[in-house]
Chains A and B, each alone.
Chain A
Amino acid sequence: MRFLSRLAKDLKKYRVYYMLALPAIIYYFIFSYKPMYGAIIAFKDFKPMKGIWGSPWVGLEHFQTLFHSAFFWDILLNTLKISLYSILFGFPAPIILALLLNEVRHTFVKRTVQSLTYIPHFISLVVICGLIKAFSGSDGLINDLIAWFGGERVSMLLWPEYFRTLYVSSGIWQEVGWGSIIYIAALAAIDVEQYEAARIDGAGRFKQLLHITLPGIKTTIIIMLILRLGHVMGVGYEKIILLYNPNTYSTADVISTYVYRKGVLEFNYSFSAAVGIFNSVIDFTILILANRLAKRWNETSLW
Chain B
Amino acid sequence: MNKRTLGEKIFDSCNILFLLLLSFSTVYPLIHVAFASFSDGNMLMTHFGFLFHPLNPTLDGYIAVFKNKFVLTGYRNTLFIIVVGVALNLFMTAISAYALTREGMMLKKPILLFIIFTMYFSGGLIPGYLNIKSLGLIDNLFVLIIPAAMSAFNFLILKTFFESIPSSLEESARIDGANELVVLFRIIIPLSLPAMAVIALYYGVAHWNSYFSAMLYIRTKSLYPLQLVLRELLLTSESNAMATGDTGAANNLYETLKYALIMVATVPILVVYPFLQRYFVKGALIGAVKG
Which A residues have a C-beta under 8 Å from some C-beta of B? 6-7, 10-11, 14, 16-21, 23-25, 27-28, 30-39, 41, 48, 52, 97, 100-101, 103-106, 109, 112-113, 115-117, 119-120, 122-127, 129-131, 133-135, 139, 141, 144-145, 147-148, 173, 176-177, 181-182, 199, 204-205, 238, 241-243, 256, 259-260, 263-264, 269, 272-273, 276-277, 279-280, 284, 287
A35 and B105 within 8 A (CB): no
Bound-state CA distance A117–B118 (Å) is 34
10 of the cross-chain contacts (CB-CB < 8 Å) are: A16-B179, A17-B99, A17-B180, A23-B95, A24-B96, A27-B150, A32-B123, A144-B49, A173-B25, A277-B124
Q: How far is the CA of A106 from the CA of B5 in the complex (A)?
A: 18
Return chain A residues, CB-CB under 8 Å to B128.
31, 35, 38
Query: When the two chains form their complex, are residues B25 and A130 in contact, meaning their CB atoms are under 8 A apart?
Result: no
B29–A14 CB distance below 8 A = no
A31 contact set on B, CB distance < 8 A? 128, 131, 147, 149
A23, B26: Cβ atoms under 8 Å? no
Which residues on the A side are within 8 Å of B26 (C-beta)?
116-117, 119-120, 173, 177
Interface pairs A-B: 10 shortest CB-CB: A35-B123, A276-B124, A38-B127, A130-B234, A24-B96, A20-B99, A21-B99, A35-B127, A32-B118, A263-B126
Q: B180 near A16 (CB under 8 angstroms)?
A: yes
Is B243's beta carbon under 8 Å from chain A? no
Find B269's partner among A32, A39, A122, A269 (CB 8 Å cutoff).
A122
Chain B 74-124 residues near chain A, CB threshold 8 A: 92, 95-96, 98-100, 102, 104-107, 111, 114-115, 118, 120-124
Contact between chains at B104 and A14 (CB < 8 Å): yes
Contacts of A14 in B (CB 8 A): 102, 104-105
Q: Could you say which of A127, A129, A141 has the most chain B C-beta atoms within 10 Å of its C-beta? A: A127
**A145 to B259 alpha-carbon distance, docked (Å):** 19
- In the complex the two chains form, is B123's CB within 8 Å of A101's CB? no
Q: Which secondary structure characterizes the binding site on chain B?
A: helix
A103 contacts which chain B residues (CB < 8 A)?
A: 11-12, 15
B175 beta carbon closer than 8 Å to chain A: no
CA distance A130 to B226 in the complex (A): 14
User: Assuming the A-B contacts A7-B106, A14-B104, A116-B26, are A242 and B231 also in contact, with contact meaning beta carbons closer than 8 angstroms in the complex?
Assistant: yes
Contact A24 B125 (CB under 8 A): no
Contact between B105 and A10, CB atoms less than 8 A apart: yes
Q: When the two chains form the complex, which single residue of A48, A134, A269 contacts B259, counting CB atoms closer than 8 Å? A: A134
Contact between chains at B105 and A135 (CB < 8 Å): no
Q: Given A113-B20, A125-B227, 14 more contacts at CB 8 Å?
A: A20-B180, A24-B95, A28-B118, A35-B127, A36-B122, A37-B127, A100-B15, A116-B26, A124-B265, A129-B231, A141-B49, A182-B284, A264-B129, A272-B126
Query: Is B22's CB under 8 angstroms from A139's CB?
Result: no
Alpha-carbon distance between A162 and B216 when the two chains are bound, in angstroms? 28
- Given A100-B15, A101-B19, A145-B49, does the pair A124, B234 have CB atoms closer than 8 Å? no
* Contact yes or no, A112 B209, CB < 8 A: no
Given A126-B235, A129-B234, A238-B212, is A34 in contact with B104 using a C-beta cutoff of 8 Å? no
Closest A residue to B101 using CB positions: A17
Is A39's CB under 8 angstroms from B124's CB?
Answer: yes
Q: Which residues of B are found within 8 Å of A199, using beta-carbon distances?
A: 2
CB of B124, distance to nearest CB on chain A (Å): 3
Q: Say yes or no: is B45 at the interface (Cβ < 8 Å to chain A).
A: yes
The reply to whether A6 and B106 contact each other, CB–CB distance below 8 Å, is yes
Tell whether, in the assembled complex, residue A144 and residue B95 are in contact, meaning their CB atoms are under 8 Å apart.
no
CB of B48 within 8 Å of the partner chain? yes
Chain A CB within 10 A, most for which of B48, B126, B262: B126
Contacts of B125 in A (CB 8 A): 256, 259-260, 263-264, 272, 276
